[in-house]
Structure 1
């Protein structure tokens, strides 16, 4: 029997591509997670590249990553919803962020909902969402949600998100995206139940 998708906890995995702690990017990720949790039960897990990066930075293939990184890769592949975020670094996401996703299975994210987010020094850096994130996850055949979230340095007080306009953007991204994510989980459960009946 399929549970009500609004009550069934969503497995939400967030990846913060920042190389520093504390981080405005991580603060943005947590603000998004908090808003989702207000609307839907979730099992949230945050992957901080500032913490796990040394365990895979020198790896060339997936079988060379540390066991702890393999666990994180499986979490990414098994998530109901991915939140991916990076500071803008030389016009793109950080190299370590890209390196992590180089190890993700090519077909492991097919049709997976992905909410894209980024932080940067000014408003023009917001283009990273359309010109870097969406093509990357298009390669994986993932489904990036319609509304991405970008925040500039001025939207934070130290490492706390204080911009009302960014919070409104988060609200819009979550309220527009969650019904789609719930439907994806519901459909996947129905297929699983159908297959299991044979």
Structure 2
């Protein structure tokens, strides 16, 4: 059995980022369950190069590498902060550059962060439709975290840690099939 290639994409636009911290926590929890080759992509690291890109063919090397990693991954963890009820614009722009058939059938664990629980439906109302377009296999449970789940940009909430474990437990079979 080969090692699964997992790419964690965080859509936060700055450093530090709760979305990046959440992606890291989810990735570490998956690593604890199964052997994976994990790679993290942060939209914050691509802001300067990504903003003016109009096609994947004309993208700077940093953006092309990110798109290639996303397209060739066996599975994805995607996290985004919630801005005005949705994912960040540059997060969406990055996925606009991904080939529309590259993610067919790939497992995707969806996650988001927001200032309060009122934004938790972003996973089902924004992220699931985006990855349905790609015909991805979104895992049954997403992970939502609000500001109170973090202290000093570290996961501090036992409830969030439990939600991460539950999401992985409910989706591990899909991940093992890809690995």
* TM-score category (smaller protein): over 0.9
Give the 5 Å matches for 1:72-111.
72-111=66-105
Residue 123 of structure 1 pairs with residue 98 of structure 2: no
In structure 2, the partner of 1:137 is 131
Say what the alpha-carbon RMSD is for the aligned residues. 0.9
In structure 2, the partner of 1:43 is 37
Aligned partner of 2:169 among 158, 175, 193: 175
Q: Contact 2:110–2:139 (CA<8 Å) still a contact in 1?
A: yes
Equivalent pairs counted in the alignment come to 179
Q: Deviations over 1:48-72 (max 9, x none)?
A: 1111121121011112210221111
In structure 2, the partner of 1:196 is none
Determine helix, strand or coil for the equivalent of 1:58: coil
Q: Which runs of 5+ in 2 are unaligned?
A: none
In 1, Cα distance between equivalents of 2:62 and 2:124: 31
TM-score calculated relative to the size of structure 1: 0.88
In 1, Cα distance between equivalents of 2:103 and 2:74: 10
In 2, Cα distance between equivalents of 1:20 and 1:79: 24
Q: Give 1 or 2 for the bigger CA radius of gyration.
A: 1
In structure 2, the partner of 1:189 is none
Q: Contact 2:75–2:178 (CA<8 Å) still a contact in 1?
A: no
In structure 2, the partner of 1:15 is 9
TM-score calculated relative to the size of structure 2: 0.97
State the shift of 1:176 in Å: 1.6
In 2, Cα distance between equivalents of 1:62 and 1:36: 30
98-107 vs 168-177, greater mean Cα deviation = 168-177
